Amino acid sequence: MSSRIQVLIPSSLLLLILAYMSVFYVREHEKAILFRLGEMVSADYKPGLHFKTPIINNVSTFDARVLTLDAKSERFLTSEKKNVIVDSFAKWRIGDVGLFYTTVGGDEFQANLRLDQIMKDAMRSEFGVRTIKQLISEDRSELRNTLLQKLAPTAAKFGIELIDIRVKRIDLPPEVSSSVYQRMRAERERVAREFRSQGAESAEQISAEADKQRQVIVANAQRDAENIRGRGDAGSAEIYAKSFGRNPEFYAFYRSLQAYQTSFEKTQDTLVLKPDSDFFKYFSSEK
């Protein structure tokens, strides 16, 4: 009896070991490849529990989460043949795990090397057709989209799914910065002078138009004043004529009084007249 128990215990243990070796588990953030005697058999495994043949099959798992390639600073030539120092990074993950294994051996380090190289080649091409001003002033999203369109198909050949690529910083080498800033300053000063010139020209036009309108307004006012004054003089003459026609003697007397007032207003003036002249006729008239 005891010998039978001794035989059953190793058998049960062997069955447990075989059962354990016959299953493998794929986590949510992993991708797995099944090999048969070193040859890749299948790579399309969903997360969960799967079966394999012990000893004949073995399984390798790879991290399928989003990874970051932080590229080193690199110098690129612009279309002006000026150097710029660019810092960039890329976000990627394993797309086709089978292709990823056959091209880069499933090695994340090798994948980063390949991706870094194709990133630099694409950036060298894109920076070479842009000026420094365009790189600094334009929206970076356009450059990002262009790089993604170029790099995604190439990265896919290595089983890599390229998610994003960004340019963090664009610097000028010290030997270039001063000359570039001077040109930019000169350009801004030229634009400012042009704006000032246009403003002065507009001011002259506005001033000339205002002077013209002022002269027209003054001329119209003077014309209207002359017309009003003429009508007033005509009305006054008409009133005087009507008054003279009603009582000529009184009108002559009134006019003489006005002449006396005007003549004697200034005491320092001297008048040389005959006493019997018409000027003094109302002084000698008897009531």
Place of tokens 């570039």: 180
The answer as to whether 18 is a domain residue is yes
Structure confidence by residue, pLDDT tens digits, 123-160: 888 888 888 777 777 667 888 888 899 899 999 999 99
Query: Last residue of a domain, which of 61, 79, 105?
Result: 61
- Single out the residue of 32, 112, 39, 133 nearest to residue 70, CA to CA: 112
Question: Looking at the structure, do residues 140 and 51 belong to the same domain, yes or no?
Answer: no
**Bigger pLDDT: 66 or 18?**
66
Strand partners, 86: 74, 170
Predicted local confidence at residue 91, as pLDDT: 93
With contact defined as beta carbons under 8 Å apart, do 128 and 77 qualify? yes
The answer as to whether 238 is a domain residue is no
Structural domain boundaries enclosing 171:
65-176
Number of domains within the chain? 2
The SS3 assignment for 222 reads helix
- Read off the pLDDT band of 9 (50, 70, 90): low
Structure confidence by residue, pLDDT tens digits, 187-231: 888 889 999 988 888 888 898 889 889 888 998 898 888 888 888
The answer as to whether 185 is a domain residue is no
Question: Looking at the structure, do residues 121 and 142 belong to the same domain, yes or no?
Answer: yes
pTM score: 0.55
- Left (φ > 0), alpha (ψ -120 to 50) or beta: where does 106 sit? left
Structure confidence by residue, pLDDT tens digits, 181-198: 777 788 888 889 999 988
Q: Looking at the predicted structure, is the pLDDT value of residue 4 above 60?
A: no
Place of tokens 């969960």: 48
**Of the given ranges (48-52, 73-77, 198-202), which has the lowest mean pLDDT?**
48-52
170 phi, psi to nearest 5 deg: -125, 115
- Read off the pLDDT band of 12 (50, 70, 90): low
- Left (φ > 0), alpha (ψ -120 to 50) or beta: where does 38 sit? left
With contact defined as beta carbons under 8 Å apart, do 100 and 159 qualify? yes
Place of tokens 């002033």: 137
The answer as to whether 40 is a domain residue is yes
Predicted local confidence at residue 287, as pLDDT: 46
Question: Looking at the structure, do residues 56 and 69 belong to the same domain, yes or no?
Answer: no
The answer as to whether 94 is a domain residue is yes
Query: Last residue of a domain, which of 11, 38, 61?
Result: 61
CA distance 62 to 51: 18
